[in-house]
Structure 1
Amino acid sequence: MSSPEVTTQPLSALPSGWTSQEPTDADVEDLVRLLRRHEKQARGWPGADSEQVTADVTGRGAAMRTHWLIRDPEGAARAWVSCHDRAAGRVLVGVTIDPELDADLAEPVAAYCFGLAEQISAGIAADRGLAATQMDSGAFQDDERQDRWLKAGGFTLVRTWWQMERPVTPEEATEHPEPREGVVVRRVRRDGAVGLPEDADLHAVHEILEESFADHFNNYRETFEEFLTRLRADPGHRWDHWWVAEVDGRPAGALVGTTVTGRLDADGNPVPDGSYVEYIGVHSSARGRGVAKALLWAVIADAAARGRNRVGLEVDAQSPTGADGLYTSLGWETSYVTESWHKDVAASAG
């Protein structure tokens, strides 16, 4: 998307000789390497890949994102600012600073990047006709450097999330519990083997997820068009990874999954493909019928049938629903923990 015009407080200055520019296709591999260095330092291993970064920076996901790449005087990529216009009143903010930078350079670069992210977010709010917006930024747990910069930028830690994975065995393609009586799990209906899904099913998935997440932490309602556009921009999007659960003949649950491809281990070697649960929701009228468990077994069986070795998902560590108990009972374990940090910013006046 085009960079919004901003008129908030002046930015902190970059060190002498440093530059800031919007990245192009030619910059993608530099961004991947920068992000992998950060992930390895902050989490313990890298996971970024070219396909996802390309989709976000110059591909289908770029329409609702603004990016800036910061280079040092020698031209090395040292920082990356990303702002995703996620929904009305919410901007997802990513600030990545090279962990190899000395502290005397990392500190002013971080101050510049968080200030730039605030200006961009203020401009997004103005473009949407809002008085203000929420900046929602993430960090790996125990990344003291990122936490310090977030606090200095006026952000508040509001939530932690368990990133969970479950191993999958080939036998689970067929050996798994059947849904309870009255519950049927199916993929979204499509027009032929490679056709688009039926509009009614897609609307049903959107409505079920909106209803089931209505009282969840920091939920922001998306229009049907925003919902579809965002999910289809993910390189792992596949229509045959969308499931609907019917209870007594009516749609009452939904699961949207993705394919995890292109992941590399700490040594740069490819990791086998996996599946990931982007969303799972059950309508309040159908809770207690085993719908969530049936949907989870559907994605497990599908991953096994495809020869995949794992299924991942994210769960709110402070959720009062006890969803983590269900995941744990089905074999999921926490592999790492992330944090959400929030800051409200007024719209720019320009």
Structure 2
Amino acid sequence: MTTVRPAPPLRSLAERAGAPSALPSLTAGGLTWRPATRDDAGPLLDLRNTVAEADGEPYRETADELREVLGAPWLRLDTDSVLGEDAEGRLRAYGYVETMPGDTNRLRAFLWGAVHPDRRGEGIGRELFAWQEARGRQLLAESGKDVPARLAGFLEDTAPAPKVRLYERAGFTPRRFYSDLERDLRDLDAHPLPAVDVDDGLRLVPLGDEHDEPARLAHNDAFRDHWGSEPQTTEQWRSGRATYAPEWSFVVVDPEPDVPALLADPHTDAETAAALRAGEPLVVGYHVGARYTADFAVRGYPFGYTEILGVRRAYRGRKLAVALLAAAMRAFADDDMAVAALDVDTQNPTGAHGLYASLGYTKRHGSRLLTIEL
């Protein structure tokens, strides 16, 4: 008879993180380093878009988007960011580390940064990446959350080889792959959108203010079985609205949910249970649209973007995702968008990749997530 032994207890995150007592020095390239401030949005925008163009990235940022990044309440710019300026005061490199307040099951430290194309090959990127990794380890160790953790960074498929090697040499491993998909909307007579009605009793309506918090709760339920996803706090959910397109956003509401059954379901989270008891609207599916106007010129045509799409677990199998996506694509087309676009995890557990392919979406670009698991 085989005895199954329990897994050994997880060491404290402070031990696993291996955080250094001091951060490594930044000396390469003769740059002067300082923390970022919210007033740096202008020069940082120029640097980030210059890097994006040089590296063939399929997007550009706007000042409003970057101000939101720098203004995120959970981002401690004074300790978790650095900017490198040359002798003329021009910004030539940046880096910051971001942890998310809603992380519960796995704490994540995301590393963001780049070096101006004109200053590559001087060792700046190597030192900057070492600083980011070290600061990420410190943040994880300081969190007080003894749960699994990861250091993480994203790379576009077009990323230059030296940047890829930085991750590899530091021990980061490709963990997940993502596809940027598009669906042409320019000839709907030849390629019609699906005609899908939601089940009797459910209502598909525009995402109004009264649905914002219920949609967050639906998102946390829908994505709790997705790899790498963590619950979003209200603060997180309401951030990043510079590109939010309410005219392209919809929800499916159940006006008469079976409250006793949902409360008895062990998968119903505490926040949803409290909302049900309070008689709040129950959003069971949602589509959040975004308008990335700065990217139109990069792609060569205007597009509508699906920022987030999800369906509560208890309501899956009823074609709600198709109904929401069809409503969004009609809204995109009505606004003269040439294509519908979205990004998807190629190993999505709900089979979303197959769903999008069946609706005519095809891959345009790809990216990957690299991590160190702790």
Query: TM-score, normalization: structure 2?
Result: 0.74
The answer for the alignment partner of 2:173 in structure 1 is: 156
1:318 paired to 2:338? no
The 8 Å contact of residues 23 and 131 in structure 2, kept in 1 or not, is answered as: no
Partner of 2:330: 301
Match of 2:238 among 229, 234, 258: 229
SS of corresponding position for 1:343: strand
Change (3 A) 1:320 1:63: closer
Consecutive unaligned residues of structure 1, counting only runs of 5 or more, are 1-5, 190-196, 346-350
- Tell me which of 204, 217, 241 is aligned to 1:207: 217
The question of whether the paired residues in 1 share the 8 Å contact of 2:292 and 2:305 is answered with yes
- Partner SS for 2:343: strand
> What is the alpha-carbon distance in structure 2 between the residues aligned to residue 264 and residue 12 of structure 1?
40
Q: What per-residue deviation string (whole Å, max 9, x for no partner) do you get for residues 168-208 of structure 1? A: 34869x9751425425311234xxxxxxx12xx33432222
Higher mean alpha-carbon deviation, 150-159 vs 162-171, is at 162-171
Tell me the distance in 1 between the aligned counterparts of 2:361 and 2:99.
31
Deviation of residue 322 (structure 1)?
A: 2.5
Q: Is the 8 A contact 2:288 2:308 kept in 1?
A: yes
**Residues 260 and 276 in structure 1, CA contact (< 8 A), matched pair in contact too:** yes
C-alpha distance in structure 2 between counterparts of 1:85 and 1:333, whole Å: 32
Please tell me whether residue 83 in structure 1 is matched to residue 101 in structure 2: no
1:113 aligned residue (112, 128, 144): 128
| 1:129 aligned onto 2:144 | yes
Q: Is the 8 A contact 1:90 1:220 kept in 2?
A: no
Pick aligned residue for 2:204 from 182, 185, 189: 185
Q: 1:244 aligned to 2:251?
A: yes
Q: 1:65 to 1:240 in 2, by over 3 A?
A: farther
Preserved CA contact (<8 Å) 1:8 1:122: no
SS in 2 for 1:100: helix
CA contact (8 A) 2:85 2:92 kept: yes
The alpha-carbon deviation at position 149 of structure 1 amounts to: 0.6
Q: Is the 8 A contact 1:170 1:307 kept in 2?
A: no
Q: 1:65, 1:82 within 8 Å by CA — same for their partners in 2?
A: no
The residue aligned with 1:193 is: none
Q: Give the structure with higher Rg (CA).
A: 2
1:249-260, aligned counterparts within 5 Å?
250=257, 251-260=283-292
Partner Cα separation in structure 1 for residue 206 and residue 236 of structure 2 = 18
Instruction: Report which of the two has the higher share of strand.
Output: 1
Q: Deviations over 1:121-144 (max 9, x none)?
A: 244335543357422210012522
1:302 Cα shift?
A: 1.5
Cα drift, residue 330 of structure 1: 1.7
How far has the Cα of 1:315 moved from its partner?
A: 0.7
Q: Deviations over 1:274-293 (max 9, x none)?
A: 33212111122222211110
Q: Which moved more, 1:333-342 or 1:204-213?
A: 204-213
Judge conservation of contact 1:37–1:46 (CA < 8 Å) in 2.
no
CA contact (8 A) 2:249 2:328 kept: no
Q: 1:121 and 1:175, CA in 2 relative to 1: closer, same or farther beyond 3 A?
A: closer
**Structural mapping, 1:39-54, within 5 Å:** 39-43=52-56, 47-54=60-67
What is the SS of the residue equivalent to 1:70? strand
Backbone CA RMSD of aligned residues: 3.1
Moved over 6 A (4+): none
CA distance in 2, matches of 1:280, 1:264: 22
Residue 315 of structure 2: which of 265, 286, 305 is its match? 286
Q: Does 1:218 align with 2:228?
A: yes
Identity of aligned residues (%): 21
Closer/same/farther in 2, CA of residues 112 and 255 from structure 1, 3 Å limit: same
Deviation at 1:226, TM superposition (A): 3.4
SS in 2 for 1:118: helix
Instruction: Give the TM-score normalised by structure 1.
Output: 0.79
Instruction: Tell me how far apart the structure 2 counterparts of residues 206 and 175 of structure 1 sit (CA, whole Å).
Output: 27
User: How far apart, in 1, do the equivalents of 2:250 and 2:358 lie?
Assistant: 21
